[in-house]
Structure 1
C-alpha cells in the first residue's frame, strides 16, 4: 500500500476495487486523439479506474475518504456494464495496518454514487439485511447530496441505492457549504459531478493536499476544461476545478486520487507543472 505524509497527516491508499468505463464518457467532449495520449484505453475503448478509499490518520483520528465499490452489491449485468474486475478488499487492507472497520472514527463522503458509497454497508452474517460497515464512525456528506441520495431523480436513481444509505442514516451528519472536520481538514461543497459533490482540503503550515474527488478523477483530467459526460453540471465542474487548481498551484499542493489507476498523488508547482508524484504499485 502506498503512503504519503503531508504535514500532520498520513495518507494510505486501500484496495477498494477496480472497474473499466468508456473513455469517451470519462472525458466528455474531449477527442480521443487528445485524452488517449494521457490515459490509455483498451480494445473496447474502456479505461481502467480504481475505487480506492484513502485512509487519513491525523491528530489521533482514523478517517476514511469514500468507501470503495463494495462486495456483492452489483448484479451480473452491472458487473459486466461497469467492467468490474475486482471488488473491495478494504477489510484486508485495514487488517494489514492492524486496524478493523470498527476503528474508523470518521468517513468523509465526497458524494454518494454507488462506486463511492457501496462500501458503507454490507450484508449481515445472520440474514440478507444490510448493516453499517463502519458502525462507530460519523459519516459526513453535504445536505444536498444526502437529500438526493434518499430521493433520487430520474437520472440519479440508478446510482443512489437505498441499501447504501438506509442502514447508516443514524450515523450521517450533513453540512451546507463547508465543514472543518479537524484542525486544517475541511470539506467544501462544490457541486458539478453531482449537485452535492464535495472536495477535501488539508492545510498544515506550508503543507497541503487537495482531494478533488470526481471533479478531477484522474491525473489526465488536470485540464480545467476536461469534464466527464457523467457530470450532472459540467460547467460547474469546470469553474470549480479552475478555482481549486489555481488555489492549489499557489500552495504547491498535492492532489490525491480515488479513481486513477496509475497515480495516487501528484504535486504541482505554481505553473501547474508536475514536480513530484506517487505512482500506484501495480
Structure 2
C-alpha cells in the first residue's frame, strides 16, 4: 500500500476495486488522439480505473475518502457493462494496518455514485444489507444525499438503495462546506453530480486537494477536459479552473481515487508536475 505524509495528515491508499470504462465517455468531447497520449486504452477503447479509498490518519483519528465498489453488489450484467475486474479489499487492507472497520471515525463521501458508495454496506441476506463502518459518521452534501434517495431519470441507475438505506442513521449533511477537523474540509462544488464535493486539507505549509471526479485521473488536469458522465460539465470546468489555480498557488498535492497510474501529484505555480507518488502495479 502506498503512503504519503502531508503535514499532520498521513494518507494510505487501500484496494477498493478496479473497472474498465469507455475512454470516450471518460474524456467527453476530447478527441481520442489527444487523451490517449496521456492515458492508454485497450482494444475495446476502455481505460483502467481504480476505485481506491484513501485512509486518512489525522490527529489520532481515522477517516476514509470514499468507500470503494464493495463486494457482491453487482449482477453479472453490471459486472460486464461496468468492466468490473476486481472488487474491494478494504477490510483486508485495514487488517494489514492493524485496524478494523470499527476504527474508522468518519467517511468523507465526495458523492454517492455506486463506484464510490458501494463499499459502505454489505449484503447479509436476500435484499438485506448492513453498514460496514458502524462507528463512522458519513459526511456528504445535503444536495447529494437528497438526490441519492430521490434520483432523477438520469441518475437512477447510479444511486442504489442498498448503498444508502443501511447507513442513513450515520449520515451528516452540509450545505456549502464542513470542517471535519482542523484544516480538513469537505467543500461542495457540484459539476460531476449535483451534490459533488471535494476534500481540501490546508494547514500551514501542507496542502492536498482531492478533486474526486472533477479530476478523476492525472490526464484530466486540463480544466476543459470534462467527462461525458458529468451532469453539469460547465460547472465542472469552472470549479476545476478555480481549484487548480488555488492548488497551484499553494503548490498542493492532488490525490486520486480513480487513477491507475498515480496516487498523487504535486504541481508548482505554473501547473508543472514537480513530485509524484506512482501506484505500484501488480498483474490482475
* TM-score between the two structures when normalised by the length of structure 1: 0.99
> Secondary structure in 2 aligned to 1:37?
coil
| Count, aligned residues | 281
String of CA shifts for 1:222-252, please: whole Å, max 9, x gaps. Answer: 0000000000000000000000000000000
> Secondary structure in 2 aligned to 1:181?
strand
String of CA shifts for 1:48-75, please: whole Å, max 9, x gaps. Answer: 0000000000011100000000100010
RMSD: 0.7
* In 2: Cα distance, 1:164 partner to 1:204 partner: 33
The equivalences for 1:176-195 within 5 A come to: 176-195=175-194
Q: What is the deviation of 1:129?
A: 1.3
The equivalences for 1:156-195 within 5 A come to: 156-195=155-194
* In 2: Cα distance, 1:214 partner to 1:83 partner: 18
The equivalences for 1:45-84 within 5 A come to: 45-84=45-84
Q: Report the equivalent of 1:225.
A: 224
* In 2: Cα distance, 1:101 partner to 1:129 partner: 19
String of CA shifts for 1:108-154, please: whole Å, max 9, x gaps. Answer: 00000000000000022x66510001000000000000000000000
The equivalences for 1:11-160 within 5 A come to: 11-124=11-124, 129-160=128-159
Ranges in structure 2 where 5+ consecutive residues have no aligned partner? none
Ranges in structure 1 where 5+ consecutive residues have no aligned partner? none
> Secondary structure in 1 aligned to 2:156?
helix
* TM-score between the two structures when normalised by the length of structure 2: 0.98
